[in-house]
Amino acid sequence: MIDVVGLHKSFNGQEVLKGVGFRVEKGEVFTVIGGSGQGKSVLLKHLLGLIKPDKGHVYVDGTDIAAVTGEELYKARDRFGYLFQGGALFDSMTIFDNVAFPLQEKTKMKAAEIKDRAEAELAKVGLSGMGHKFPAEVSGGMKKRAAFARVLVMNPEIVLFDEPTTGLDPVLVDSVHRLIVWGRENYGYTAVVVSHEIPEIFDISDRVGMLDGGVMLQVGTPGEIKGSDNPRVRRFVRGESEGAAQF
């Protein structure tokens, strides 16, 4: 479904991605793990065309997201939903308006239908009766769930999760992971998740890829990654540092 081929990207002369390549199959939960500053979020933004690569391709069912622009790019993005690290809710709108916004702007639904639909999505993520609040008035976990409702309301084929559990307590981390799986089962999307939550993330992933040093070091099932022979993968999964010099 998604084919990433030889992706290169530099910022101010610093090469972040050095030929990243992997494939995501339809309907699977593919998780990208890796240390801080390894370019995981940058990689995710390439999948949606929010960042253009210096070299390489991102094929989504044959369409090269990296090569298309304008209306063609917008059409390709219609298949995606993106859950941003901080939720990226519009802070001048209420939670309800945030969820209703894509429906108002991208569909011809009537106001009453939009209201029903947005409220139903909020209920599914456990935010019934919270629609009148502004993003600044709710907790981090609620923001994530509201942002998830905004993603789900358009019923996307592919959902990209950018560190969806950052800053949440262990109980909320578990609830977000359950939401990802629940969404996959009920909406049938393909998920690409960028996460630091090890080992919890292995429980919900079909396959995992480790990004390190600008390349995809290893891709495999959670079991293969946990039992990896690669010392860098093994150290990362076990949470072992390479000594004070590395810190």
CB-wise, 21 or 140, nearer to other proteins?
140
Cβ count near 47 (within 10 Å): 21
Residue 117 CB, nearest approach to other proteins (Å): 15
Q: What is the phi-psi region of residue 88: left when phi exceeds 0, alpha when psi lies from -120 to 50, beta otherwise?
A: left
Residue 81 CB, nearest approach to other proteins (Å): 8
DSSP-assigned letter for residue 101: H
Residue 100: half-sphere exposure toward Cβ, Cα within 13 Å: 19
Residue 224 CB, nearest approach to other proteins (Å): 31
Rounded CA gap, 39 and 88, in Å?
19
Residue 162 CB, nearest approach to other proteins (Å): 9
CB-wise, 91 or 169, nearer to other proteins?
91
CB-wise, 158 or 208, nearer to other proteins?
158
CB-wise, 5 or 88, nearer to other proteins?
88
CB-wise, 19 or 102, nearer to other proteins?
102
Render 16-51 in DSSP notation, one character per residue: EEEEEEEEE-TT-EEEEE--TTSSHHHHHHHHHTSS
Residues forming contacts to other proteins in the complex (CB under 8 A) are 45, 48, 50, 74-75, 77-78, 80-82, 84-86, 88-91, 101-102, 105-106, 154
Cβ count near 75 (within 10 Å): 11
Contact 168, 162 (CB under 8 A): no
Residue 227 CB, nearest approach to other proteins (Å): 36
